[in-house]
Amino acid sequence: MFQLPRKMLTEWSKLSVRHLLSRSETRTDFSRLYYSAVALKSMAALTFGLTLVRHGETQYNKEGLLQGQGIDSVLSEIGLQQAEAAGCYLKDVEFTNVFVSDMLRAQQTAETIVKHNSSCSALRMVCDPLLKEKSFGIAEGRRVQELIEMAQAAGQSFTDFTPPKGETHEQVKERVKEFLEKMLQQIGAEHWHETSASAPPETSPVVGQADDGVRGVPVHTLVVTHGIVIYVAVRFFVEELHCSLPSDFDRAHMFSLCPNTGLCRFILTMTKEDDRFKLSGIRCVFLHRGDHVIQNGAR
């Protein structure tokens, strides 16, 4: 049930109910104030940051072999260095929620990032199978080049091709959509008290810093997942959710595969309708950022 603001109730309590009902002008004022309060409440929105990170390199990545879901490999030495580099890069960026794929390579990466970040010390890292990599079916364990050739023979791109017994692009997208819905409900339930009835804050300037876009944003979610999942998520955000993009974005770069421990960041806005939280806006801050890996020598 909608509750009127305490201050408004205090003012109205000075008048008897009988007096309110006996004066049409007072009833008009009551209605005006009530519906103004309802309108103000309906304008409330929660704006939060979303940073997607691809896991670090594995030996399979290094050798150009497909892992998918059937091969649950750990990070290579280079992958551990990449995860450390990502952790150092993000160490001063505040997070309020952490989600990670249930696969080892993603969990190792997330754990390394979190250990460097003091804002994550009290957070529970949520492992979610919806974030696991695409299944490549019979192609798992084979060379990536073989899948590329299979895709070319079928007249499709590597990222969109489905080998026999593998997951389709649509199936992965459904997982992304299901995770997004679950994440919205959790973040809304935990952080709705940080809403604002004013316009969402503008994205802070993008100047190549680790906190680009999220300075002054009170809620920020870290998601550590996989290359194809990020690719599908970006396409879904842009093509179906109409995510706004910086004017200088290159489409080829936008829909390329994110590098190991590469970062993508978005600003999302949600509203509340009845008891559900709904996405009302999304904009991109940057995509596939990997400078932190090169700067730290962990290529």
**Burial (CB count within 10 angstroms: exposed 0-12, middle 13-18, buried 19+), residue 296:** middle
Question: Taking a C-beta distance cutoff of 8 angstroms, is the pair 47, 267 a contact?
Answer: yes
Q: Which residue has the tokens 């590098």?
A: 259
Active-site residue flag, 55: yes
Per the rule left: phi > 0, alpha: psi between -120 and 50, beta: everything else, 216 is left
**Which one of the listed residues 84, 133, 140, 167 is annotated catalytic?**
133
Structure tokens at 206: 């993008």
Task: Indicate the annotated binding residues for substrate.
Answer: 54-61, 105
Q: Find, among 45, 70, 46, the residue nearest to 60 by Cα.
A: 70
Catalytic one of 55, 169, 226, 292: 55
Binding site, annotated residues:
54-61, 105
At residue 61, what are phi and psi to the nearest 5 degrees? -60, -45
Per-residue DSSP letter, 130: G
Which residues have a catalytic role annotated? 55, 133
